[in-house]
C-alpha cells in the first residue's frame, strides 16, 4: 500500500481545464495519477478484464494474459518479485503497456525494466542504488523515486525529455543535474532535507507543479521569494516552510495558481495575499494561525478550503464564494456555524464535535442534511 507520507502530499490533486468557461477539478491520488490523468484504478477482481486500461494489485502479480488492453500496471508490496518473468509477461500479453509502477517490491536491481518501452516508471520504496539503466528508456516522461536511497542525480542528464519527477524523502543534496531537464513540468521534493539550494529548478521555467513542503527553511525561502520565475505554476505545496511576508507577496503574483497548500505554517496569520488568486480552486492553511477569512470573500473559483486547527471565529466571508463545496473547519472557535446554511454550493463539511454543543451540532447537522450536505464531526 502506498505510504501515508506520499498520500498525504498528493491525495488532493486538481486537474485544470476549461469547460464552458469554468474551471473544473478532478481528485488524484498521487503525482503519477496527476501526470497521466488517472482518476481510478481497476483491480484484478474487476469485471471484464479485457477492457481494463489501468490496473492496480497489491501483494501479488495478476495473470496478465487476461488484460490485453492494459496501459498502466501498478504493483505494490510484492515479495520476491521475479522481475524478469514480469517483463516477459508484459512483452507477451500487454503490448500497449507504457507505464509501470513497482512500489515497495524489494528491488535491488531494476535494470531488466530497460527492455520495455515506457513513458512512465515508478520505483518508490525500493532499495535501489544504481539507476543508470534509465538512460535506455528514451521515451520516459515520468519517473518516481520517492524514498529510494538515491544521492547522485547525474543519471537524469541522460533523460532530457523527462517532464515529471518525484524525489520525495530522498537523501539528495545537489539538484544541478536538473538544469538539463528543460521540459520538466512537475517536481516533488517533499521532505528532501539535504537540499540547500533550489536554484537549479529555475532552468525549468515552464514548471506547473512544485512540492517543497518540509524542506530546509532558508533554502525554501530563497526559492519562494523568486517563485514568480515560474509564471505557469498551477500547483504549489509549501507546508512548514513559510517564514516571511515576502514569500506570500511573491505567491500572490502567481496568476495561474489553482492549488495552494500552505498548511502547518504557524507563522501564517494573514490571508490577504489570496485576494489576487482568482483562479484558486483549492487552499490548504490548516494548522496555521489564521483568524480572519475576509480575504477569501468572493473568490470565484474556490471549491475546497482546508482551514482546521486555526483561530477562526467567523465563516461569514465564505458565504460569498459561489463554488465553495468542501470545507474542513475542525478545531476552530467559530461562533456563526449557521452560516454554513447560506453557502450555495456546499456539499461537505468537517468540524469537530468539540467545536459546539451537542444540541447545536445535532440541530445544525439535521439542517444541513436537508440541504444535501454531508457533515463529519469526529
* 142-180 tens-digit pLDDT: 999 999 999 999 999 999 999 999 999 999 999 999 999
The DSSP 8-state label assigned to residue 304 in this structure reads E
User: Which cell numbers in the block locate residue 189?
Assistant: 521534493
Contact 122, 102 (CB under 8 A): yes
- 39 found inside a domain: no
Buried b (16+ CB within 10 A) or exposed e, 328-347: bbbbbebeebeebeebeebe
Q: Tell which residue, 377, 373, 328, has the closest CA to residue 353.
A: 377
User: Which cell numbers in the block locate residue 132?
Assistant: 543508470
Confidence of residue 8 (pLDDT cuts 50, 70, 90): very low
CATH number, position 368:
3.80.10.10
Strand partners for 211:
188, 237
What's the CA gap between 324 and 142, in Å, rounded? 32
Please calculate the CA angle 139-145-147 and round it to the nearest 5 degrees.
175
How many structural domains is the chain composed of? 1
What's the CA gap between 200 and 254, in Å, rounded? 20
Q: Tell which residue, 204, 203, 209, 206, has the closest CA to residue 189.
A: 209
What's the CA gap between 3 and 30, in Å, rounded? 11
Q: Is 166 helix (H, G, I), strand (E, B) or coil?
A: strand
- 287 found inside a domain: yes
Confidence of residue 244 (pLDDT cuts 50, 70, 90): confident
Phi and psi based region of residue 143 (left: phi greater than 0; alpha: psi -120 to 50; beta: remaining): beta
- End-to-end CA, the chain: 25
Count, residues in the chain: 378
Query: What are the helix (H) ranges across the chain?
Result: 4-10, 31-36, 83-93, 217-225, 245-252, 358-370
* Domain, as residue range, for 316: 262-378
Q: Give the other-Cβ count within 10 Å of 231's Cβ.
A: 13
Q: Tell which residue, 270, 266, 304, 307, has the closest CA to residue 285.
A: 307
What's the CA gap between 44 and 56, in Å, rounded? 7
- 365 found inside a domain: yes
pLDDT tens, residue by residue, 320-372: 999 999 999 999 999 999 999 999 999 999 999 999 999 999 999 999 999 99
Contact 204, 184 (CB under 8 A): yes
> Which residues lie closer than 8 Å to 198 by C-beta, 6 or more apart?
175, 189, 212, 219, 220, 222, 223
- 346 found inside a domain: yes
* pTM score, whole prediction: 0.93
- 200 found inside a domain: no
pLDDT tens, residue by residue, 26-80: 778 999 999 999 999 999 998 799 999 999 999 999 999 999 999 999 999 999 9
**In this prediction, what percent of the chain has a pLDDT beyond 70?**
93
- 358 found inside a domain: yes
What's the CA gap between 149 and 88, in Å, rounded? 27
- 371 found inside a domain: yes
- 229 found inside a domain: no
Amino acid at each position: 500500500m502506498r505510504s501515508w507520507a506520499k498520500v498525504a502530499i498528493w491525495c488532493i490533486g486538481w486537474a485544470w481545464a476549461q469547460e464552458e468557461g469554468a474551471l473544473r477539478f478532478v481528485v488524484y491520488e498521487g503525482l503519477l495519477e496527476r501526470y497521466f490523468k488517472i482518476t481510478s484504478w481497476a483491480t484484478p477482481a474487476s469485471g471484464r478484464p479485457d477492457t481494463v486500461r489501468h490496473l492496480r494489485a497489491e501483494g501479488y502479480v495478476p495473470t496478465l494474459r487476461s488484460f490485453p488492453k492494459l496501459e498502466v500496471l501498478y504493483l505494490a508490496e510484492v515479495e520476491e518479485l521475479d522481475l524478469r518473468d514480469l517483463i516477459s509477461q508484459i512483452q507477451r500479453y500487454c503490448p500497449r503497456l507504457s507505464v509501470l509502477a513497482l512500489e515497495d517490491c524489494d528491488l535491488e536491481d531494476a535494470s531488466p525494466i530497460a527492455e520495455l518501452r515506457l513513458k512512465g516508471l515508478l520505483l518508490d520504496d525500493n532499495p535501489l542504488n544504481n539507476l543508470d539503466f534509465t538512460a535506455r528508456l528514451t521515451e520516459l516522461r515520468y519517473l518516481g523515486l520517492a524514498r529510494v536511497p538515491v544521492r547522485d542525480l547525474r543519471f537524469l542528464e541522460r533523460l532530457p525529455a523527462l517532464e515529471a519527477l518525484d524525489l520525495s524523502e530522498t537523501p539528495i543534496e545537489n539538484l544541478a543535474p536538473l538544469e538539463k531537464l528543460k521540459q520538466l513540468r512537475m517536481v516533488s521534493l517533499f521532505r528532501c532535507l539535504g537540499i540547500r539550494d533550489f536554484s537549479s529548478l529555475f532552468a525549468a521555467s515552464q514548471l506547473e507543479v512544485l512540492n517543497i513542503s518540509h524542506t530546509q527553511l532558508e533554502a525554501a525561502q530563497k526559492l519562494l521569494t523568486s517563485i514568480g520565475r515560474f509564471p505557469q505554476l498551477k500547483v504549489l505545496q509549501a507546508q512548514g516552510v513559510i517564514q516571511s511576508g515576502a514569500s506570500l507577496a511573491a505567491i500572490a503574483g502567481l496568476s495561474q495558481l489553482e492549488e495552494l497548500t500552505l498548511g502547518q505554517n504557524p507563522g501564517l496569520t494573514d490571508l490577504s495575499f489570496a485576494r489576487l488568486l482568482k483562479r484558486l480552486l483549492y487552499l490548504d492553511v490548516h494548522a496555521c494561525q489564521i483568524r480572519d477569512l475576509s480575504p477569501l470573500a468572493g473568490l470565484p473559483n474556490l471549491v475546497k478550503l482546508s482551514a482546521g486547527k486555526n483561530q477562526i471565529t467567523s465563516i461569514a466571508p465564505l458565504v460569498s464564494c459561489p463554488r465553495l463545496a468542501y470545507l474542513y473547519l475542525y478545531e476552530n472557535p467559530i461562533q456563526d456555524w449557521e452560516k454554513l446554511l447560506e453557502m450555495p454550493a456546499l456539499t461537505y463539511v468537517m468540524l469537530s464535535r468539540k467545536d459546539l454543543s451537542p444540541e447545536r451540532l445535532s440541530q445544525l447537522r439535521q439542517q444541513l442534511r436537508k440541504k444535501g450536505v454531508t457533515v463529519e464531526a469526529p
